[in-house]
């Protein structure tokens, strides 16, 4: 086979994440076994050594997140993978990586919760944990794939974002995608851009590890490269040392937020299907968006102007995009495998411009196209009835 | 400060935050004296610390320094050492930090026999939060959270580390400061997981409540209660009651984690 040509393979979602991570340049993985994410660890345990990379199974989830941050500071692109209960334990050191601006990727293959829940059943219950699981205000990038192909490519993107913006990136997938097997077209090696962290120039008299460039992101020296600096989870000044000065604390907090919000156009990824003329737009992410896509197509076949908006970046929430959709369509339908975590965000963005309806299933099963289609039809009926009554009234 | 030791400090960050009579400065001094004897390369050395009084030490030292989360210093250090085994990695922790919230990381770092040098500043108390009991607070001590005396027996951290698989275990006190420095030096030279318990004094949060006097009195307590290993062999269990052994307590040879992993990498790459 000619290695330079793209070729296709049957791959499992978790495998695609592991393979994507390798393309992105991951050279360190620390984790703790947890269903339904474990394949990622198993594959990387096998494959990393040949690439000079390193795998370690830590004593717990907390330790694996700490090891990931440490390894990244020592210069290796680092990954961990877990599921809801493990994700909860990792929050402490995700917060550390956030305030100390250590690039890393955290995969959460969501399962039914809370607590041990149903380890083998899918859910989307960690949408808010991904956003607010860490103590204190902090910026978050969370990405959500809808296919095995996308899991592969989006993992590379996750690493690129983490390296560019010096932040942990949450890869928020679910058991359906993690265990799904699909055809994946592997792009030719070298054809996908891979971003590496920005380094300070050599030979500086003084290196300020937290003095940002105009893009809000400070260049990062790795431990052992000659710039000896201090890293702390305490609020710190540009020199990296602790400070309790109000202006330093506020400056750090705002810069951490702004380095993400100033680049929303680059970070916000989404996908749309027939939204231009749609009266009813389904907003769905992850595995549920697959059912939604089918439902929208069937609705169109039945003459209903339905559309699909699929946030790929779910944090930061695509507020501007949803506001525009709300202005266009009268009804937004948000099917989720939770009790309405993203729906609240959609409502906030839509305001009074559109009516937002949730379709929430929390039984450990994927929402089916039929369930979404019948909601679309119901909303269509409500719309029609409302138009009729307006006609009668006028 | 001795001129030859100044280069190890970020002098502009001094004076330190520690209370009058605190022994942490003596431990820090023993550490930098060990650095000087080891002729350590500061660029190639990382100092990781947890949370608490002692863990502020990292900020004063001119190295690659990482002040982590409470109890997690060894897990961060493990990531650093595995990612780049060329780096010398020292880990500074307090007694509560290392043996309570970080207890799991402590026993597993020892079990892996990863080449880290861990120093546990044992001042018998959570000092920074105002004097609550830790797993190393002596039985029946008075503390802010044991107003009727502690009910919990303590760990013998040296025995714990030996049982868990650490291949270098030693203990000294801030009174026996030159011994402490020598043990740190030997621990750093040892290939594998080395742990040195440094018995230090917290006159403010521990000594005061337990009527142990000031910093000087507590140093004298260490002098009387820390018994060198050889001398201890001559004493009866009765004579050793309430005392503890200082010196090198355990040393063994065992495969070191990052070296073993390095061989896996070599094998994987040679079979490509």
**Per-residue DSSP letters for B223-258?**
HHHEEEHHHHHHS-HHHHTT-EEEEEEEE-----HH
Q: What share of chain A is helix, strand, coil (3-state, %, to 5)?
A: 40, 20, 35
pLDDT value of residue A382? 87
Residue B196 lies in a domain: yes
Q: What angle do CA A22, A24, A27 make, to 5 degrees?
A: 55
| Span B177-187, average pLDDT | 98
In tens, the pLDDT along B39-78 reads 999 999 999 999 999 999 999 999 999 999 999 999 999 9
**CA-to-CA distance for B135 and B144, rounded, in angstroms?**
14
Kindly indicate whether the ipTM for this predicted assembly is greater than 0.95, answering yes or no. Answer: yes
Task: Return the H-helix or E-strand segment holding A127.
Answer: helix A127-132
Question: Which residues in B lie closer than 8 A to residue A229 (C-beta atoms)?
Answer: 64-65
- Give the A window 222-241 contacts with B, CB below 8 Å: 223-226, 228-234, 241
Q: How many domains does chain B have?
A: 1
Residue B239 lies in a domain: yes
Residue B9 lies in a domain: no
Question: Which residues in A lie closer than 8 A to residue B76 (C-beta atoms)?
Answer: 66-67, 69-70
Chain A nearest CA to B25, separation (Å): 19
pLDDT value of residue A1? 46
Q: Do A151 and A312 meet the contact criterion of CB atoms below 8 Å apart?
A: no
pLDDT value of residue A5? 56
Q: What domains lie within chain A, and their CATH numbers?
A: 7-186 (3.40.50.970), 272-393 (3.40.50.920)
Question: Which residues in B lie closer than 8 A to residue A224 (C-beta atoms)?
Answer: 43-44, 46, 64, 84, 86-87
Q: Which residue has the tokens 């650490």?
A: B166
Chain B nearest CA to A144, separation (Å): 27
pLDDT value of residue B112? 98
Residue B54 lies in a domain: yes
- Closest residue by Cα to residue A337 from A146, A124, A130: A124
Chain A nearest CA to B74, separation (Å): 8
Q: Number of residue pairs across A and B with CB atoms under 8 Å?
A: 137
CA A331 centroid distance within chain: 26
Compute the CA torsion angle A102, A106, A16, A297 (nearest 10 deg). Answer: -120
**Per-residue DSSP letters for A186-210?**
EPPTT-S----PPPPPTT-SS--TT
Task: Identify the domain containing residue B50 by its residue range.
Answer: 16-270
Closest partner CB to B108 (pick from A50, A59, A234): A59
- The answer, yes or no, to whether residue B7 has pLDDT greater than 50, is yes
Question: Which residues in B lie closer than 8 A to residue A134 (C-beta atoms)?
Answer: none
Residue B62 lies in a domain: yes
- Give the A window 278-317 contacts with B, CB below 8 Å: none
Residue of A nearest to B50 (CA): A232
CATH number for the domain spanning B103: value is 3.40.50.970
Question: Which residues in B lie closer than 8 A to residue A91 (C-beta atoms)?
Answer: none
pTM of the model: 0.97
Q: What does each of the 394 residues of chain A score in pLDDT, given as a tens digit?
A: 455 556 899 999 999 999 999 999 999 999 999 999 999 999 999 999 999 999 999 999 999 999 999 999 999 999 999 999 999 999 999 999 999 999 999 999 999 999 999 999 999 999 999 999 999 999 999 999 999 999 999 999 999 999 999 999 999 999 999 999 999 999 987 899 999 999 999 999 999 999 999 999 999 999 999 999 999 999 999 999 999 999 999 999 999 999 999 999 999 999 999 999 999 999 999 999 999 999 999 999 999 999 999 999 999 999 999 999 999 999 999 999 999 999 999 999 999 999 999 999 999 999 999 999 999 999 999 888 888 888 888 7
CB contact under 8 A, A63 and B105: yes
Chain B nearest CA to A340, separation (Å): 33
Closest partner CB to A54 (pick from B42, B76, B261): B261
Chain A nearest CA to B242, separation (Å): 34
């Amino acid at each position: 086979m000619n290695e330079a040509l793209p070729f296709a393979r049957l791959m499992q979602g978790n495998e695609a994440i592991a393979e994507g991570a390798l393309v992105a340049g991951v050279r360190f993985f620390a984790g703790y076994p947890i269903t339904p994410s474990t394949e990622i660890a198993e594959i990387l345990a096998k494959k990393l050594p040949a690439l000079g990379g390193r795998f370690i199974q830590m004593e717990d989830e907390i330790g694996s997140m700490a090891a990931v941050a440490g390894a990244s500071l020592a210069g290796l692109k680092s990954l961990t993978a877990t599921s809801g209960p493990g994700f909860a334990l990792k929050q402490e050191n995700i917060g550390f990586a956030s305030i100390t601006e250590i690039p890393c990727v955290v995969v959460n293959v969501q399962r039914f919760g809370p607590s041990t829940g149903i380890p083998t059943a899918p859910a989307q219950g960690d949408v808010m944990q991904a956003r607010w699981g860490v103590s204190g205000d902090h910026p978050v990038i969370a990405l959500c794939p809808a296919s095995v192909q996308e899991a592969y490519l989006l993992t590379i993107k996750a690493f690129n974002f983490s390296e560019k913006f010096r932040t942990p990136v949450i890869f928020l997938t679910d058991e359906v995608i993690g265990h799904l097997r699909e055809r994946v077209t592997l792009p030719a090696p070298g054809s996908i851009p891979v971003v590496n962290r920005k380094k300070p120039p050599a030979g500086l008299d003084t290196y300020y590890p937290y003095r940002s460039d105009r893009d809000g992101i400070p260049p990062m020296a790795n431990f052992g490269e000659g710039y000896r600096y201090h890293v702390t989870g305490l609020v710190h000044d540009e020199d990296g040392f602790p400070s309790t000065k109000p202006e330093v604390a506020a400056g750090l907090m705002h810069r951490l937020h702004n380095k993400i919000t100033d680049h929303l156009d680059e970070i916000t990824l989404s996908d749309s299907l027939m939204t231009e003329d749609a009266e009813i737009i389904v907003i769905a992410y992850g595995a549920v968006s697959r059912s939604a896509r089918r439902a929208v197509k069937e609705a169109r076949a039945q003459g209903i102007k339905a559309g699909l908006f699929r946030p790929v970046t779910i944090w930061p929430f695509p507020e501007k995009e949803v506001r525009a959709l709300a202005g266009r369509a009268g009804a937004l339908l948000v099917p989720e495998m939770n009790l309405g975590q993203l729906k609240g965000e959609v409502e906030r963005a839509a305001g009074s411009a559109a009516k937002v309806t949730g379709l929430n299933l929390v039984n450990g099963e994927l929402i089916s196209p039929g369930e979404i289609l019948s909601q679309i039809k119901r909303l269509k009926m409500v719309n029609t009835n409302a138009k009729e009554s307006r006609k009668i009234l006028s | 400060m001795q001129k030859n030791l100044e280069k190890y400090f970020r002098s502009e960050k001094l004076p330190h935050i520690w209370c009058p009579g605190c022994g942490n400065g003596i431990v820090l001094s023993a550490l930098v004296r060990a650095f000087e004897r080891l002729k350590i390369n500061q660029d190639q050395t990382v100092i990781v610390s947890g949370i608490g009084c002692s863990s502020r030490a990292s900020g004063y030292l001119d190295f690659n320094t990482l002040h982590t989360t409470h109890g997690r210093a060894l897990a961060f250090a493990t990531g650093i050492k595995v990612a780049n085994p060329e780096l010398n990695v020292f880990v500074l922790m307090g007694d509560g930090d290392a043996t309570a919230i970080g207890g799991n990381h402590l026993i597993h770092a020892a079990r892996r026999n990863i080449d880290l040098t861990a120093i546990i500043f044992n001042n018998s108390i959570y000092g920074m939060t105002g004097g609550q009991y830790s797993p190393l607070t002596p039985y029946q001590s008075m503390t802010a959270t044991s107003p009727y005396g502690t009910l919990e027996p303590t760990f013998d951290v040296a025995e714990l580390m030996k049982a868990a698989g650490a291949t270098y275990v030693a203990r000294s006190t801030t009174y026996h400061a030159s011994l402490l420095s020598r043990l740190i030096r030997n621990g750093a030279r040892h290939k594998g997981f080395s742990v040195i318990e440094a018995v230090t004094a917290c006159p403010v949060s521990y000594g005061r409540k337990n009527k142990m006097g000031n910093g000087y009195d507590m140093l004298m307590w260490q002098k009387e209660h820390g018994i060198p290993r050889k001398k201890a062999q001559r004493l009866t269990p009765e004579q050793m009651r309430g005392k503890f052994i200082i010196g090198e307590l355990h040393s063994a040879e065992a495969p070191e984690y990052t070296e073993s992993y390095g061989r896996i990498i070599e094998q994987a790459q040679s079979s490509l």
